Amino acid sequence: TWLTLQGQPCAVYPISDEDADGNGLYITRKFIPALLNGERVNLIIEFNEETGEDRVLGAQSVTATGMVGKGYAEMSGGDVITLLCDYYDYNGRFQAQYTLGNPIIVPEDGVLTIVNVTLIGEDIRMLYTYRLTDLYQAHYWLPVTEKQS
């Protein structure tokens, strides 16, 4: 499966996992890099195991130097979201940023859906890897694995 925003696969990066009351149910926050009406933002999403609700909290501004703003801006019907994905080399250095998929028009009610979708089809091919970081902040890349459906 792959996480989608309005049915489009997107790049997702972790922010935090919290189990504030110690009951084993987590509230996880992540961000999706995007352009909102041409301006660079991180769409902040929340997965809440306590309520079972997954939602987009809002758009957090990102400056040209990569600094993120405080708070979240709401999105309005008709706003245009262009999903982005980043490419890093094996040393963790940023190389490039690409647009991903087609622009998404925010629905009139301003509510965006987050859904895990199973990628199927004869021509679906995925390459993936994991980067492990030890307690000394040394990075280790696992071999690239290919999955075909």
Query: The sheet that has 114-117: what strands, in order across it?
Result: 8-9, 2-5, 114-117
| Confidence band of 148 (pLDDT split at 50, 70, 90) | low
Per the structure, how many domains does the chain have?
1
- CA torsion angle 110 114 115 116 (round to 10): 160
pLDDT value, residue 90: 74
Dump pLDDT digits (tens) for 9-60: 999 988 888 887 888 888 899 999 999 999 999 999 998 888 888 899 999 9
In a domain, residue 109? The reply is: yes
In a domain, residue 139? The reply is: no
pLDDT value, residue 144: 87
User: Residue 34 is part of which domain span?
Assistant: 2-119
In a domain, residue 147? The reply is: no
Model pTM score: 0.79
| Confidence band of 149 (pLDDT split at 50, 70, 90) | low
Dump pLDDT digits (tens) for 86-119: 888 877 788 998 999 999 999 999 999 998 888 7
Higher pLDDT, 137 or 4: 4
Give the total residue count for the chain. Answer: 149
In a domain, residue 48? The reply is: yes
What is the tally of helices (H) and strands (E) in the chain? 0, 13
In a domain, residue 141? The reply is: no
In a domain, residue 146? The reply is: no
In a domain, residue 67? The reply is: yes
Dump pLDDT digits (tens) for 77-94: 999 999 999 888 877 788
DSSP 66: S
pLDDT value, residue 72: 92
In a domain, residue 140? The reply is: no
